[in-house]
Amino acid sequence: MKFLKKICLFYFLMLFFSIYSYANVINFKPEISISETYTDNYDQKKRDKEVEYYTRYGLGFTLEALTRKTKSSLSYFPSYVDYKKHDENDSMEHRFNLSSLYNFTRHTELNFSQSFSKTRDPQIRTGNWVDHDSIVASLGLRNIFGKRNLAGADISFSSDRFDDSDNADSNNAFKGSLSLDYWFGIRYGYSSGLSYERTIFKKSDEDKDTISGNIKLIRKLSEHFQIYCAYSQIYSDDGNSRHNVYNPSLGFNWSTSKTSKVSLGAGILFHSYNDRKDSSDFFVDADIFKIFNLSQRSSFSVSGSSGYESTSEEAASLGFNIYYKGGFNYGYRLTKKSSFNISSSYKQQIFKEKAGDRVDNTFNVNTGISWSPLRWLTTSLSYAYINFNSDLSSRDDYEENRVTLSLRLYPSRPPKVVLDKTIQEGDDEIFGNKTREKLDEQIFMNK
């Protein structure tokens, strides 16, 4: 398996640098950072809280390349974490990301990505801090035909390794999926998907096979408003137990711009088991996002979503889970060189298979001030509050307060080569816009 990971990384790097050699626009952005963090509950325990200080030293870069048909990005940010009391936990962490998009034709594109991280994180299942290695590689193909029809195919591989005593969550997973969005005319259409996933656990013989499918019938009422009727099903089998999930639902989609989206539905999750009593849950299917530009100085964004998955990436051994999360982010520019930010989020996660309907709740508040006295220097002071509780008796509830002072250095004018000025606007669009994912990271940051 390690050989397969190295082969995947080798070919992805070869492909990226072949694109780089033909690039019309190249951006290189190096960065150096140092931060000092105080926490009043290092072990994240309900009682016997322990104060700890740690320093993080970071050095990394982002390399971006653009040709007439490709958009590629490579970033690598290693960091060293030095603890004041717990020297045994001093560690080197790594975060690597590689992505590329290739346009075969005007309507067909191929995208691939690979990420690797080596961090020390609290484990969701136990709450213990463990070393965690994660690798995710994916390859996808998209084709647009007609005015609004879209067909896609994706394959992915992921690997998670936790350095704990039982290795229950360590696994490799392979997944393949197909999707089709098709409109019969102006007002009627449907979206559908089918996927297969195999999860291979390192220390358990309960390897898991999961087949899932969904279809959504859509009725367009206006340019921005749609109603839908949907059905989805998930079947999973780990050799000992089988779990079927049936989910009929009704809802609507409302979207007025790229910064505004409301999708809301309601239905029933019917659970069928071979080794326990069947059950059902009322489920609200939500995907809500909106950015409010309050003034030239301030903006406010809200985000909320829900969903379910057969296997959680953070706690694979716990099986099927349902989640709800929501939050906001407010930013205000105090002066030309300083800004203020505050965000808050709440997440509920319900594990239905192996944990006996375990429910975890996490509430976060993050706020801070950043100041850029020089064009190549930014300093920030931030505060984070975390409140976690679980109905599992063996998992500690806890509260934690963190204060972080950080310093970041970067070139005021990053090295940039423009070989074709006609695509400069495309470069700005690719590398300059804030995406939904980045804003969600601000709202739902837990680390």
**In sequence order, what are the residues at sequence separation of 6 or more whose Cβ sits closer than 8 angstroms to the Cβ of residue 415?**
27, 28
238 or 367, which is more confident?
367
Nearest alpha carbon to residue 45 among 404, 389, 358, 355? 389
Nearest alpha carbon to residue 249 among 224, 212, 290, 218? 218
CB 219 within 8 A of CB 230: no
Query: For the CA atoms of the chain, what is the radius of gyration?
Result: 23
Q: What pLDDT is recorded for position 226? A: 95
How far apart, in whole angstroms, are the C-alpha atoms of residue 363 and residue 400?
11
What end-to-end distance do the CA atoms of the chain give, in Å?
Answer: 30
Q: What pLDDT is recorded for position 434? A: 44
Q: What pLDDT is recorded for position 433? A: 42
The torsion angles phi and psi of 148, rounded to 5 degrees, stand at -135, 10
- Write down the mean pLDDT value for the chain: 84
**For residue 18, what pLDDT band results from cuts at 50, 70 and 90?**
low
For the cut 50, the answer to whether the pLDDT of residue 407 exceeds it is yes
For the cut 70, the answer to whether the pLDDT of residue 368 exceeds it is yes
Least confident range of 94-108, 231-245, 261-275, 428-442? 428-442
Q: What pLDDT is recorded for position 13? A: 56
Q: What pLDDT is recorded for position 17? A: 56
How far apart, in whole angstroms, are the C-alpha atoms of residue 83 and residue 37?
10
In what helix (H) or strand (E) does residue 3 lie, and over which residues does it extend? helix 2-21
Mean pLDDT of 75-90: 92
Q: For residue range 169-186, list pLDDT tens digits in order.
A: 788 899 999 999 999 988
For the cut 60, the answer to whether the pLDDT of residue 7 exceeds it is no
Annotated domain spans of the chain: 2-443
20 or 173, which is more confident?
173
Q: What pLDDT is recorded for position 423? A: 29
Q: What pLDDT is recorded for position 93? A: 94
The CATH topology of domain 2-443 is Maltoporin; Chain A (2.40.170)
DSSP-assigned beta bridge partners for residue 408: 33, 378
Which tokens go with 105? 């034709």
195 or 392, which is more confident?
195
**For residue 356, what pLDDT band results from cuts at 50, 70 and 90?**
low
Q: For residue range 227-249, list pLDDT tens digits in order.
A: 999 999 999 988 888 889 999 99
- Give whichever of 44-48, 211-215, 349-353 has the largest mean pLDDT: 211-215
In the block, residue with structure tokens 């971006």: 64
For the cut 70, the answer to whether the pLDDT of residue 412 exceeds it is no
| Amino acid at the residue 220 | K
Mean pLDDT of 8-17: 55
Q: For residue range 120-136, list pLDDT tens digits in order.
A: 887 777 777 888 889 99
For the cut 90, the answer to whether the pLDDT of residue 41 exceeds it is yes
Q: What pLDDT is recorded for position 11? A: 53
CB 132 within 8 A of CB 316: no
